Structure 1
């Protein structure tokens, strides 16, 4: 018993004589904290230097801990008091601090008045990281500063967009804020701002919601369609027009896409597909459907004609030698195709693709269109007999008469343009109705015989004398004028 009492007294005396100040730190106090340990560690100079990442472990008497003890200490929680598994006399509490823990404590300590922005330079200077990390932190710091200076209301953002100042749309996160931004852009009537906000909405909200909200705003729809047309986004443009039930615009868009195909065969197929998908089933587009049908049919006619004529020209056809083809007939307009067929295939039967009359019939050309075109082709070929056949119509009881649906003045204009002989031109000048009109056209084309005949018919002696004085000597017109002036059977106007 006496020995036990002695040991107890010795232990009490040992702890009473310890250099540990129990007022500041008590190992057996349940309220011990990291802050107490830190304060004690600082007083003993046990913390590592700020620049060193290694962990230093010391005893309470400032002596280093052996590797074995350090290993056992590291198995505990860093930053807390640890004990060796020996008896109470050999208890050696240690404190461990790493570099990152010390920095974290300094940044989060309530007593520290420095902000995150203030700590960034010090972190950069003490960090062993690369230059890229340093530049990234500096960039983020500048971006943070600029972001704090910006105002994020829809009104201020639209104002900055109009004035060309820096702005950001990414700060608007909710659907309501984005729609408010779009409504504000529409309200100020700025097309660039409207388009920019629409594209932002397209990227950040679901397509179904985007389409729904866009349909509720006709102004936004028009700007969006204009943007798609300008940037040739025809697929999206067609989808939007179909969604809006603007079938006519969608059909015309598809037609334009079809005719832009570089290959003729591909263009024919595209036109047929476009006709079937967008025109035939729309009653309001019946007229347009007929035009698309004629366009496709014209290409289907031009393709074999071009193929046949190119081979005939290569084989040395005399007509192609005399009048060489300047361009291909493919993709040419209807009237040009008719003129081509009238010029090179004017006598072909109606059952042939090259027949001008078959073209007139299939494409529903008027008589004026057909006569004008055929007359121009035959006049250039100097086919005067063909012109007469074209202008001859059957009358009653098998009789024939000269008829021109375009007017004989137009016939004379075409003949004069193709340098027709004077007797051919005079023949059709005499068929012009109206003496004054005939006289003016005959003077224009210098058909002296017709001018003299018309002046005699009008019994205008004075005008005939003036006109005869201008005629060249020995000309047929001058002789006719002199004979008329000497005639005693003509009753002139007084």
Structure 2
């Protein structure tokens, strides 16, 4: 260092790491975050375009930071940190507002369940279903099913989705895995089979009974066994209907069109333990579709020797029976014949008003000597119609003793 000033030494020494007069170039080198350094190259340097008469030699990166430490820094940059995962509430809010979002940053089971709980809290079906489909895609189904059992609302959305999309085999598997024997009735007994073949459903039901029969109570055990037998009967008979009731309707329609006896139908009813309600419901609707009104009255209207008045003989609620009959557009006199069999006049008059059986209503009020009710009801009858004149004639009659 002899003969040189301290300032000369720092400005000319070949061992100097940086020239402090070139601060701007140093800042430029470190601020260029997009530049990629090859950590394996032994001659990596900070680039510099300093145009000076005496170019300065730049030191290799490895002389400043060891390769091992540099790799550690770069690895840390490449690995997402926990802080890069947004809060679940923030993501759900974005979904609610229609903003861009991603669910794939939530990888742990706890995060996914929190996501589901927050989605349910929004009471938004689209958000709930979106989260459910993400969980379905990223979790084992047994894990998903186990956690859905603890979340009734989410479970309902999931099963409704499977029904709506006709993913019925998937729904059957869900019910089997979770032991939801009450709901599985909907699939197996009521016949919501969609495109699933009879053979496939029969095999699935056999497997279900083999695994779960011991857990079923007596009634459900009998029910599933009967349905298994029905599927076997379908395969043997080469029938493709979805349910016992639908099959009975098909048989009854065939017999009614041929006007043959009902022996085969009664045998079917007994074999598959079809209730009287189901049987009579099918009779009413099939005959209604075929417009066989006389047959309907013969089956369901019987004389009552005690009251000297006809009555409706059915296990179906009378109001439901007449309302269902009316939906098949029978002649008005057929409807009135059934209305006249109803014991409760309030019920019969109420039904007659809904079905616009105006003459029946007028006659009922005449029987009650209720002139005021006829006067009021006349406003509901089309002017100049036959029923309108019928009401006016009743009001002008002098041989009736009115109570009002």
CA distance in 1, matches of 2:382, 2:289: 29
Judging changes above 3 Å, is the alpha-carbon distance between structure 1 residues 433 and 395 closer, same or farther for their aligned structure 2 residues? closer
Within-5 A mapping of 1:125-204: 145-147=70-72, 159=82, 162=85, 189-191=110-112
Deviations along 1:67-87, one digit per CA (max 9) or x if unpaired, are xxxxxxxxxxxxxxxxxxxxx
Residues 1:297 and 2:256 aligned together: no
Native 8 Å contact 1:251 1:274 kept in 2: no
Give 1:456 deviation, angstroms. 0.5
Give the corresponding residue for 1:220. Answer: none
Q: Which residue of 2 aligns with 1:269?
A: 203
Query: Does the CA-based 8 Å contact 1:391-1:404 persist in structure 2?
Result: yes
Instruction: Show the counterpart of 1:374.
Output: 283
Task: Give the gaps of 5 or more residues in structure 1.
Answer: 1-116, 123-140, 165-184, 195-224, 239-245, 308-329
Distance 1:190 1:273, change over 3 A: closer
8 A contact 2:287–2:295 mirrored in 1? yes
In the alignment, is the contact (CA less than 8 A) between 1:371 and 1:406 conserved in 2? Answer: yes
Query: 1:14-413 counterparts in 2 under 5 A?
Result: 120-121=41-42, 145-147=70-72, 159=82, 162=85, 189-191=110-112, 229-230=136-137, 249=177, 262-276=196-210, 278-283=211-216, 286-303=218-235, 330-346=240-256, 352=264, 355=265, 357-392=266-301, 402-413=312-323
| 1:421 correspondence with 2:331 | yes
Map Cα deviations across residues 405-448 of structure 1 (whole Å, 9 max, x no partner). 22333232223211111111110011223223322221221222
Partner residue, 1:486 = 397
CA distance in 2, matches of 1:247, 1:361: 29
Aligned mates of 1:262, 1:303 — CA distance in 2: 13
Q: After the TM superposition, which of the residue ranges 468-477 and 384-393 deviates more from structure 2?
A: 468-477
Deviations along 1:195-242, whole A, 9 cap, x unmatched?
xxxxxxxxxxxxxxxxxxxxxxxxxxxxxx99885469669999xxxx
Cα distance, 1:305–1:444 mapped onto 2, change above 3 Å: farther
Inter-partner Cα distance in structure 1 for 2:139 and 2:227: 24
Shift of 1:387: 1.2
1:409 match: secondary structure = helix
- Contact map agreement 1:468 1:478 (CA 8 A) in 2: no
On the 8 A contact 2:312/2:318 being kept in 1, the answer is: no
Aligned length: 273
Maintained 8 Å contact 2:39/2:71: no
Following the alignment from structure 1 to structure 2, what is the Cα–Cα distance between the partners of residues 460 and 413? Answer: 26
Give yes or no for contact 1:378–1:384 (8 Å, CA) kept in 2: yes
CA, structure 1 residues 229+426, in 2 after alignment: closer, same or farther (shift >3 Å)? same
The farther-off stretch of 364-373 and 379-388 is 364-373
Tell me, in whole angstroms, the C-alpha distance in 2 between the residues paired with 1:232 and 1:481.
75
CA distance in 2, matches of 1:389, 1:301: 32
Q: Is the 8 A contact 2:39 2:70 kept in 1?
A: no
Structure 1 range deviating more: 407-416 or 442-451: 407-416
**Contact 2:112/2:135 (<8 A) preserved:** no
Matched, 1:434 2:366: no
Q: Match of 2:373?
A: 463
CA RMSD in angstroms comes to: 5.1
- Inter-partner Cα distance in structure 2 for 1:456 and 1:445: 19
Contact 1:426 1:450 in 2 (8 A): yes
How far apart are 1:474 and its partner, in Å? 7.1
The separation in 2 between residues aligned to 1:286 and 1:228, in whole angstroms, is 36
CA 1:145–1:262: 2 relative to 1, 3 Å: farther
Check the 8 A contact 1:162/1:193 in 2, yes or no: no
Say whether the 8 Å CA contact 2:352–2:360 is kept in structure 1: yes
When normalised by structure 1's length, the TM-score is 0.43
Q: 1:230 to 1:142 in 2, by over 3 A?
A: farther
Deviations 1:113-161 (A, max 9, x none): xxxx987537xxxxxxxxxxxxxxxxxx99984545667xxxx998367
What displacement does 1:274 show?
A: 2.8
Q: Check conservation: 2:374, 2:391, Cα contact below 8 A.
A: no
* Rounded Cα–Cα distance in structure 2 between residues aligned with 1:413 and 1:402: 14
Contact 1:439 1:451 in 2 (8 A): yes
CA contact (8 A) 1:343 1:377 kept: yes
**Counterpart for residue 53 of structure 2:** none
Aligned counterpart, 1:91: none
Deviation of the 1:370 alpha carbon: 2.6
- TM-score of the pair, normalised by structure 2: 0.51
SS of the residue corresponding to residue 121 of structure 1 reads coil
